[in-house]
Each structure stands twice: as C-alpha cells, then as structure tokens.
Amino acid sequence: MKQSYFEIHPWALATHKFNDTTNLVTESLTSIGNGYMGMRGNFEEGYSGKSLKGTYIAGVWFPDKTRVGWWKNGYPKYFGKVINAVDFISVKITIDGHAIDLATTPYEDYYQQLNMKNGILTRSYTVVLSDTKTRINFSRFLSIKTKELAVQQIEFEQIAGNSTITVESQLDGTITNQDTNYEETFWEPITSTIEQNALFLSLKTKANPFGTERFTVSALTDLQLTVNASPQLKKVNDLLLSDTREFSLQEGTNASLLKRTVIVTSRNIPDSEHQTTAKKILADTANNFADLEQEQTAAWLKRWATADIEINGDDAAQQSIRFNLFELFSTYYGEDSRLNIGPKGFTGEKYGGATYWDTEAYAVPFYLGVSEPKVTRNLLLYRYLQLPQAKHNAAEQGLAGALYPMVTFNGIESHNEWEITFEEIHRNGAMAYAIYNYTNYTGDDSYLAKEGLEVLVEISRFWADRVHYSKRKKQYMIHGVTGPNEYENNVNNNWYTNYLARWVLTYTKHAYETYGAQSSVDVSSKELAKWQDIIEHMYLPADSELGIFVQHDTFLDKDIRPVTSLPSKDLPLNQHWSWDKILRSPFIKQADVLQGIYFFGDQFSFEEKKRNFDFYEPLTVHESSLSPSIHSIIASEIGEYDKAIEMYNRTARLDLDNYNHDTDDGLHITSMTGTWLTIVQGFAGMRTWNGELSFAPFLPHNWSSYSFHINYRGRTLQVIVSSIVTIKLVVGETLPIKLYDKNIDLTDTIKVSLK
C-alpha cells in the first residue's frame, strides 16, 4: 500500500531518480511557499509529461458560478476558486538547438532535493547529447525575509564538448486552471513593459457577475548571467513576456544565471504603484544567490529553533514530522490577518476556498504551541473581520446572529451541498472554541474582551435561534445537522453539535458577564435568560446501558458492526459504496463524539473517554485526513498505545507515502497540524486546561527519544522524552506545571523517569 517517493532523510526529501509516472505526486511533495505565495514543484525548463502547473498567490481567487442539478433556496451564488497566477519560474533552455525536457532529453545523474532546513528546492542532471555533456543545477526558493521575492539560480557546467546554450526566461500569464468549466480563463492583461533587463507584467482577474473583489497581480523579473550574453527582451503577446540570452560554453567552464522576481498585488499596493514598488523592492534585494540563500537559511533556522520536533530511532517519523511542519509554515505563518490556511495551501487547486473549520479545530492549537501568540491572534482576527459576512450567512438561512461559512474566501458561504452548507453548523462552535483556546493557552484575555466577545455573542444568537424546544421531551434540540462525521447527513441531535452549542452559550454568557460592561456589545437580560434556559435544558443523547454519548438520535438503531467486519475490497468506502449505503451504515468518517471529548477533555472522566473511544473507534474508517490525529491523542490518554502509534503513522506520512492515493492533486495541508498534535498532546500528553500546563509522556516502542519546544505564556520550554522525561525552561520565568499528575515549579530543568 505504502509507496515512498523520496529517500528517508531527517531534513530533506531527496531522490536520485526521476519517475515520470509519479511526477504529479512529486510535484505536490516539492511544493514551496512563504505564506504570501507558493507553487508546486514544476520544472523551470518545462516538462511535456504529466504535470499540474500551479503558482498561487495567497488571498487571490475567483468566484465561479454555483452549478447544481436542482437549485435549493439559500444556496450560495458562487464558489470561491483558488486560481493559477502568473507563471514566473519558467526558464526554457536549449543546448545546441535541443530543447531541454526531461520527457524527451537524454540525461543522467538526476538528483532532486527539497531542503526543509531552509526551504530551498534544488534539482540537477547531466544532459547527454551526441558530442556534449552539460550538467544543469536548478535552485529556487521563495524568500521569507522579503515575501514578494522569488529567487532562482540555474548553473551550467560543461562537462564534455563545447555547446551553445540559450535560456529564455518568461513571465507567462496565459495560465488557466485544470478544473475550469469550458476552458474559462480568469485573467486579463493590464500592463506589460520591457525595459533594461527587466520584464514587467500586470494582470487583473476578470470582472464577475457577483461583484466580488477583483485582484491585480504584477510580476517584475530580472536576469543576471555570469557570462556575456546580450538580452533579447520580447513581448510575445499581452499575457506573455520573454527575455532570451544565448552563450557558448567550453568544456570545463561554467555559467550561472540568477532570476529574481518580485510579485506585488492589489491586496497590498494600489495598481498604479505596482511597477515602482516592485522596482524598489528589487533594488533593495541582494543581487547574488549566496547572500540571498544565507538570509533564507537564517530565517528558516529561526522558525525551526522553536518549532522543530526531534525524533531519534525512527528517521521516517523524523522526516514526516519535519515535512508536515515545513509545509504548514510555507502555507501560513500568521503575518496577514486577512489570510487563512487553505486545505491544499499552495500545492493544488482542489476543494477551492481558503478557509475551513480545520483552521480553528486543528491549526490554532498547533500555532499556539509553535509560534508567537500574534500568529494565532491573526487567525482569530480573520474571523472577526468577517463577522458581517457571517451575519449575512445566518440571515440567508432565516436565522439570527452569525453563521461562519463552511468554505469561503471572503466570509460569504460558497459551498453548494445543502447537507454541508446549511447543516454542518458545528463549524460555528469551533470559532468560539478557538477564542477559548487562545485565551486559555496564552492567558491573554484582551481579544476575548473585545473582538472575541462580539463574535461569541453573534454565534450564540445563532444557536439560540437554531435550537427548537420539543414540547414532548421538554428539552431543546437541534434537528437537521451534519456532524463532523460527514458519512451521515441531516441527523437530529448530533451529540457533538448539541454539546458544543450548549458550551458556546455557557462560555459567551460568562464572557459577557465578565467583559460585557466595558464592551460595546449589548445583550438583554431576556436574551441571557433564554440562553440560560437552553443551557439548562439542552438535550444530549446518551445511552446509560452502554455508558456512552450517542452520536445522534437513532445511531444505535443501526446495524452496528466494526470496520473489521468489512471485506478489505470495500475500503475505502468512499470509493466503493454508493452514497446512500455509506449514510445508513454505522461507519464513521472521522471523530465525531470523540471530537467533543477531545475539545472538552477536562469535562469527562477517564472511564467516559475510554468507553466512548472503545465504542466508536472500531466503527471509524478514518477516511478524512483529520481523523487519525484526534484518535491517536485520545488513545494515548487512555493508554491504548498501539492504537495511538497506528494512528500517528497514518497521519504523519499521509502525503509522503500517498496513503489515500490523492497526493497528485496537492497536499493535505490543514491535517498536517495533526501530526504535531499527535506527538505533543498525544505522546507527550500536554494539556492546558484551566490555565495549567501539564504533561504525561510515553515513548513509542520503536523510538529511542523525541523532543520538542513549545511556547507557553511568555516561556519557551523544551520537552525531551527518552527513558527519562526532561523538561527545560529555555526562556522565561518560573512556571508551575504538572508532570504525571505531580505539581512542579519549573525553574530550570526537571527530570523524571518515564512512566
């Protein structure tokens, strides 16, 4: 089942072989990004084999008309599409008239490496023509220091014979998406100029009937060579510019090319200033690769210093955790509160939309641990800035308050399945949970007191309107929802949703009582009384005989049987069973009741956790990339270590080993946080309930040790787990912590035996 595309290496993805049949997967795996922009591992020189070209600019998208078989009242009018932006990495190469293309050109000594330490992607091979051999080394990265900057170096080493080499650097706006309807294109040309050694191309997204924001993206690129070659700059058409150089290379000599590109967008700079701004940024940039590389390495080093997880004894596990962290940071590092973490990041076009509840449920706890609080706060601010749109979404459904979208770019819901858009409303609770999580983790209540309270009150108003009172049962209920388990739709009283809604009302009421007086938010006493009534009379399905919470009203009437009862040919179910059969089966896509137990771990006993885990996990097919991590964490807590490790392996190398056979269209970015959570909250048992930091580590049997840093309330801690558990206070003041249920004041380093 598992297939490895790159050699096992603690800090790199590297391969000595190019496999043309798996190029789509390796393109995904060698994606790089700097939060501002990113791209798949497409080849600079072009490639005529199977390839998904992808260059993406964060926050730049296009609204695509909603297409459904039958329209239903309330459907969003458009679907937000991640769109391919100007291709600026292209440098076509010919050697003695032969166009270099790995699909057709004879070559030897191939090597590709994504260096995760500094985010530099390199690739080299030796072109073997009849009388000559030329080695080409490509390097590229997207600058962490200057977000608008992309740097490429191409080195030529003439090994045998003499050659005439032509390089043609391009800015190519004739791009489209592979999933377009009827070959539509998204861009129209604004400006294209050629001067000195620079190409400048400015493109704008086409007008759309939905009145959403249009984006201008401009690229300025220059080219420097270490050999003499007069530039031939050319405007091929309004969307395509090129800069061609020709030079000769004698046997034993070298040449090197440096291509620097600056990308500016209307998201940050008015269109009229694009050219001058880009020029200024380029002028302020070092013009040699070595200096630029050094800056880049230093910037990544700083990130790794706090974020790295070191694993000894299992290089595959080591590689996978670093790969997950690397791609996460490449996608988002919290610089821009208008951005979020798309499900595919900069690695593909699938799904569309930039923002899912994955961010609040999975990414927030990760960024809290590995980065400054500001990063997480920006994720919260993103939702605060979209509060008006969330109120619009609720109103579209005829409901009060705010409903955050399932999928969006601009805050307006843009997904078009009623069972998701209209019904998977638990997402609204995750928004509130993230506020709690930030406040509780950081101890900083300033967001909660102001922006957070505004968001919480509107979310609570939604829930208070969305519940209904069952006169028969004398309890509040929530009918017609889809829980996190998307293998059931339109169920009644999903335990997770009901529990979460009740918690939101409780938390909001408490926050309002604490911070309401000083805020602009106004909640009437009648409204508060209504919330209290719902809190006291919310229906939560449970089964006393089994001692479990019940996923939803009629779940236990199903033909309950474990996944192990299925023939293996039926798995994954989503590829083999018709949708109706999946829906009425007892099989669960991802944590549902257990998601609630994970979120509110301080509110359930060990026995409750164990009974629910032992009941639900055997029914779970984990066909969502978000599933294994939550199960691993709970399995760790209840001492089911083998299951915890099985689930870790399933989440950690999901893309590296192409576990679900779908890495070709991009990486599973948001679920990558799960790998980190699995180690830190799972294996190391870190908890932060009620402002108290605690650990209860165990060591997977085939690891000799693991260690990581975390940020917590102004401190940096290092945790090292081998036969000894070591906790170091690296930065900051004394901190009371709990280790294996023992209270300790952490002042320097403590060591205890592994339990």
> At its nearest, how many Å lie between a copy of itself and the CB of residue 373?
37
State yes or no: residue 473 binds a copy of itself (CB under 8 A).
yes
* 183 or 522: CB nearest a copy of itself: 183
196 touches a copy of itself by CB under 8 A: no
The structure tokens 């600079």 sit at: 44
69 touches a copy of itself (CB under 8 A)? yes
Stretch that binds a copy of itself, among 131-139, 278-286, 467-475, 745-753 (CB under 8 A): 467-475
Nearest to 181 by CA among 352, 59, 67, 24: 67
CB of 393 to a copy of itself, least distance (A): 11
Per CB under 8 A, does 396 bind a copy of itself? yes
- Per-residue binding string, a copy of itself, 148-187, x by CB under 8 A, is ----------------------------------x-----
Per-residue burial over 137-174, b if 16 or more Cβ lie within 10 Å, else e, is bbbbbbbbebbbbbbbbbbbbbeeeebebbbbbbbbbe
Q: Is 111 a residue that touches a copy of itself (CB under 8 A)? A: no
Q: Is 590 annotated as a binding residue?
A: yes
Least CB distance to a copy of itself at residue 576 (A) = 8
Stretch near a copy of itself under the rule CB under 8 A, chosen from 111-119, 477-485, 522-530, 617-625: 477-485
> What contacts 24+ positions apart, CB below 8 Å, involve 177-185?
177/81, 177/82, 177/83, 177/84, 177/349, 178/52, 178/349, 179/349, 179/350, 181/64, 181/67
Dihedral sign computed on CA atoms, order 726, 731, 735, 738: negative
Would you state the structure tokens that stand for residue 346, as one six-digit string?
Answer: 């900069």
> First CA to last CA across the chain, in angstroms?
34
Residue 489 touches a copy of itself, criterion: CB under 8 A: yes
**Distance of closest approach, residue 64 Cβ to a copy of itself, in angstroms:** 10
Burial degree of 382 (CB within 10 A; 0-12, 13-18, 19+): buried
- Residue 397 engages a copy of itself in binding (rule: CB under 8 A): yes
Chain centroid to CA 515: 33
575 binds a copy of itself (CB under 8 A): yes
Place of tokens 């099989």: 587
One-letter identity of residue 204: K
Q: Which is nearer to a copy of itself, 83 or 403 (CB)?
A: 403
Q: Among residue numbers 21 through 50, which ones bind a copy of itself (CB under 8 A)?
A: none
Identify which range of 280-288, 419-427, 505-513, 712-720 contacts a copy of itself by CB under 8 A. 419-427
Tokens of 644: 């915890």
Is residue 527 annotated as a catalytic residue, yes or no? no
CA pair distance 587, 85, nearest whole angstrom: 40
∠ Cα 124 30 122 (to 5°): 25
Using DSSP bridges, classify how beta strands 735-739 and 693-695 pair: parallel, antiparallel or unpaired. parallel
To which residue do tokens 């069952």 refer? 470
Q: Rounded to whole angstroms, how far apart are CA atoms 279 and 65?
A: 37
Q: Which of 44, 360, 458, 486 is catalytic?
A: 486
Nearer to a copy of itself, 425 or 505 (CB): 425
Report if residue 477 touches a copy of itself, rule: CB under 8 A: yes
Nearest residue (CB) to a copy of itself, 579 versus 689? 579
- Applying CB under 8 A, does 468 fall inside the site for a copy of itself? yes
The verdict on 662 binding a copy of itself (CB under 8 A) reads no
Q: How far apart (Å, rounded) are the C-alpha atoms in residues 671 and 363?
A: 8
Is residue 472 close enough to count as binding a copy of itself by CB under 8 A?
yes
Position among 279, 350, 558, 738 found at the interface with a copy of itself (CB under 8 A): 558
The CA distance from 671 to 216, in Å, is: 31
Q: Does the annotation flag 358 for ligand binding? A: yes
Residue 531, annotated ligand binder? Answer: no
Tokens standing for residue 612: 């629910």
Return the structure tokens found at 511.
Answer: 């926050």
Q: Which stretch binds a copy of itself (CB under 8 A): 2-10, 430-438, 489-497, 734-742?
A: 489-497
Q: How far is the CB of 610 from a copy of itself (least distance, A)?
A: 22
Q: What residues are paired with 169 via a beta bridge?
A: 91, 243
Name the minimum Å distance from CB 470 to a copy of itself: 5
User: Please, what is the minimum distance in Å from the beta carbon of residue 392 to a copy of itself?
Assistant: 13
Given 97, 209, 398, 567, the residue binding a copy of itself (CB under 8 A): 398
From the list 49, 161, 313, 480, which residue makes contact with a copy of itself (rule: CB under 8 A)? Answer: 480
Q: Record the tokens describing residue 679, joined without a space.
A: 């180690």
Total number of residues that touch a copy of itself (CB under 8 A): 53
Looking only at residues 577 through 616 of this chain, which bind a copy of itself when binding is defined by CB under 8 A?
A: 577-584
Residues 254 and 158 sit within 8 Å (Cβ to Cβ) = yes
From the list 74-82, 198-206, 520-528, 706-714, the region that binds a copy of itself by CB under 8 A is 74-82
Task: Give me the sheet containing 55-57, strands edge to edge.
Answer: 32-33, 37-39, 55-57
Distance CA 611, CA 605 (A): 10
Asked if residue 357 belongs to a known ligand binding site, the reply is yes
Q: How many CA atoms lie within 13 A of 269 on its CB side?
A: 19
Contact 658, 320 (CB under 8 A): no
Considering only 43-51, 158-166, 294-302, 475-483, which stretch makes contact with a copy of itself by CB under 8 A? 475-483
Q: Is 68 in the site for a copy of itself (CB under 8 A)?
A: yes
Does residue 572 have a cis peptide bond before it, meaning omega lies within 30 degrees of 0? Answer: yes
Q: Return the residue of 22, 126, 492, 705 that touches a copy of itself, per CB under 8 A.
A: 492
Residue numbers annotated as active site: 486
Residue list for the binding site for substrate: 357-358, 589-590
Name the site residues for a copy of itself (rule: CB under 8 A).
66-70, 72-75, 79, 182, 396-399, 415-419, 422-423, 468-473, 477, 479-480, 489-490, 492-493, 553-554, 556-560, 574-584
